[in-house]
Amino acid sequence: MTWIFKHGYTIPEDKEERIEPHWRSGYRNRMDRSKTWERYWAEEIEITWKWSVGPGDRAELYVNDKLVESKTGVGEETMTVYGSVVQARMVTDEKGKKTAIDKYGIYGCGIDSLVFRATKTK
């Protein structure tokens, strides 16, 4: 699909934009409010994210306002999804009591890399 904008600007089908936000959500930095990364011309996003959460807590990843992953424990993943908007947040039942630092920098979840693509690769 080729996007044509109001003033004649088009997005080529092979357009790809890579960003490395190194964003973190944890107990001390408004864990339930995520930054939003959006590229409305994109049809596909490759997401590299990490999580490290305790019992009763979870890390959540949203694409186009829909929950696509909910993780517990510790891990990292690179995944490709259809969409154009990404958010991540941490949900806790401990009300911010735990303040541990781990290998990801802050106990919680994080987005390390995003690749927005104008055309689906699958």
Domain interval for residue 72: 13-94+104-117
Is residue 63 included in any domain, yes or no? yes
The CA distances from residue 106 to 44, 70, 74, in Å, are: 28, 18, 12
Is residue 99 included in any domain, yes or no? no
User: Count of domains in the chain?
Assistant: 1
pLDDT digits (tens, 9 = 90+) for 1-22: 555 555 556 777 888 999 998 8
Is residue 8 included in any domain, yes or no? no
Q: Which amino acid is at 118?
A: A
Q: What is the pLDDT of residue 91?
A: 80
Is residue 6 included in any domain, yes or no? no
Q: Quick one: which of 24, 5, 43, 41 has its CA closest to 108?
A: 24
pLDDT digits (tens, 9 = 90+) for 65-115: 999 999 988 899 999 999 999 998 888 776 555 545 555 455 678 889 999
pLDDT digits (tens, 9 = 90+) for 25-69: 766 655 666 788 999 899 999 999 998 887 778 889 999 999 999
DSSP symbols for 106-121? SSEEEEEEEEEESS--
Angle (nearest 5°) at CA 91 between 88 and 92:
150
Is residue 59 included in any domain, yes or no? yes
Is residue 62 included in any domain, yes or no? yes
Q: What is the pLDDT of residue 13?
A: 80
The CATH number that applies at residue 109 is 2.60.120.290
The reported pTM is 0.79
* Separation of alpha carbons 102 and 74, rounded Å: 10
